[in-house]
Chains A and B, each alone.
Chain A
Amino acid sequence: MEKNIRIVQASENAFIVYFTDKISPPVFHSIRHFCQAIQAQQSDNLTHLIPSYNNVLINFSKPASNTLKTIDYLHNLADDCLNNSSSLNLDITATTHRLPAYYHPQVGTDIERVLEQCKIASLEQLIALHSEKKYTVYAVGFCPGFAYLAEVDKKIRIPRHPTPRLNVAAGSIGIAEEQTAVYPLPTPGGWHIIGNCPQSLIPNEKSLTHLWQIGDEVIFEPINRKMYDKLSAKI
């Protein structure tokens, strides 16, 4: 049995499974395996299933009749997933999402501040540092369609604003320490905004399967103003 797996109760009918202390692409793969298996095996008895970084919250519809038995079941399943047990026979492929990104002070309200604080010579350099990296989806949450992406280049790591902005525009591309993200909805937010992605990331009932999942890859593709206006008009 994998020693790193920990399971803790979260409510009368919910448990949280911690896979490892450190996160890595194979761990995300195991977590996706685990979620898929739970969904298949517990489809009638599941209200919430929330993967995030190294953990998964499972909320069953009914209270567990035997807590220890449920913990055992979850532990064995997590163990199988972590050790890539072929008996599960599940098909999982990480998707690569390409997001158009318009980096400009008109939409990137914090570009000046980032250039100054991180001592970056030009906007071009900032664009290169942000868009030449491939990011991994570490978690989805905060608000619908918000994905925590990592890891941002060390040269442009910057803390959150001490006081969050009251309103960050939809599509805003933010950075905070090693993470980056696109705000799908206008919300309050504390990340430094360096651009805008003119593509709707709000989940809708028809496109749920196309949305990103933990472990997916994301690439930002710089676009010019003309393209930005063209794509914005389509949202």
Chain B
Amino acid sequence: MKKGFKILQSGGLSMLQDNGRIGFSQYGIAQSGAVDSFAYFWSNKLLDNPSNTTVIEITLGALKIESQISTCIAVCGADLNFTINGQKTPLWQSHNINKGDKIEWRNRVSGLRCYLAIKGGFAVHKIFNSTSTNPREKIGGLSKDGVPLKADDIIPSNPAPHQTTKALNWQHIPQYSPHITLQFLPTYQFDLFDKKFKERIISQKFIVSKQLNRVGCRLQGGDLSHKINLPYSEGMLIGSIQIPPDGNPIIMLNDAPTIGGYPKIGTVCSDELPKLAQAYTGDTINFKLKETFAQ
């Protein structure tokens, strides 16, 4: 059996991800892929990997890995108490790894999702041009059936020579605050919502609920009930802000169904999505309208 990274323990949610599936949405196949595109990008960039290289997306932590090879890694994203052989280790930089090293993410300190890239990537088969794991659709990942990583899995990878470590300039490292402001574009049914409703969405403070996964981020605490009905379901995007009749907005994320029937008041600006990717239950969200393009 090919060597690589062996999972010793997986208590949270850890999954193989890449850029996702592009061009298959007309068959009902979601984009999937790394939710925090910024941290994902840098984890590969610090190793000079091609930009669509497969990484492990670690949600909340509780992941312990043993390396069966000598290689280099880079770890970017949430602070999940990342250690190598028990030693606290900085994020947003590359590290040389020896055979037998134990790499661990114990528990969440700030943010939600952390990315582990390995030099040359993990050697995993693609389905629909991507290795991304989507448990809802039962596709992708190590066994191609959408199952997240679990204890005793061995993710194959080639050894790589040690190299001079690289780090992202501290000025570019994001700080994950529990108070998040999200800019959104007025899209889809924006014009159908009345003025008072629009004032409410930008003046109220929302709280990230417990219903938070890769399909969507459901918010609570606002008063956004309405009676707008969509006659027909329509295509959704990552960042689409759906407002169900109960008034609790759902911001769609990477594993969201391709079409949906609730009205949408806007779409989170794409450069704001990495912030949203790190939002955790209890964090507050304020919306801010961005009006820079022609209607």
Residues of A within 8 A of B (CB): 8-12, 14, 16, 21, 23, 35, 46-57, 59, 67-68, 139-146, 148, 185, 187, 203, 205, 208, 211, 213
Contacts and interface: CB of A to CB of B under 8 A. Distances in A.
A143 to B, nearest CB: 6
A141 B237 contact: no
A187 B127 CA distance: 20
B137 A144 contact: yes
A115 to B, nearest CB: 28
A79 B22 CA distance: 27
Contacts of A12: 185, 269-270, 293
Nearest to B126: A205
A203 B233 contact: no
13 contacts: A10-B188, A12-B185, A14-B237, A14-B267, A47-B23, A48-B237, A48-B258, A49-B23, A52-B235, A140-B27, A140-B28, A143-B137, A145-B27
Contacts of B31: 48
Contact of A52 (B29, B185, B259): B259
Contacts of A142: 28, 257-259
Interface in B225-242: 231-237, 239-240
B23 A139 contact: no
Given A50-B25, A56-B235, A145-B27, A11 B270 contact: yes
Q: Which of B23, B232, B270 has the most CB of A within 10 A?
A: B232
Contact of A187 (B128, B136, B233): B136
Contacts, number: 118
Q: Is the interface of B mostly helix, strand, loop or mixed?
A: loop
B179 to A, nearest CB: 25
B28 A143 contact: yes
B26 A143 contact: no
A103 to B, nearest CB: 25
B138 interface: yes
A59 B22 CA distance: 10
Given A67-B293, A139-B233, A50 B137 contact: no
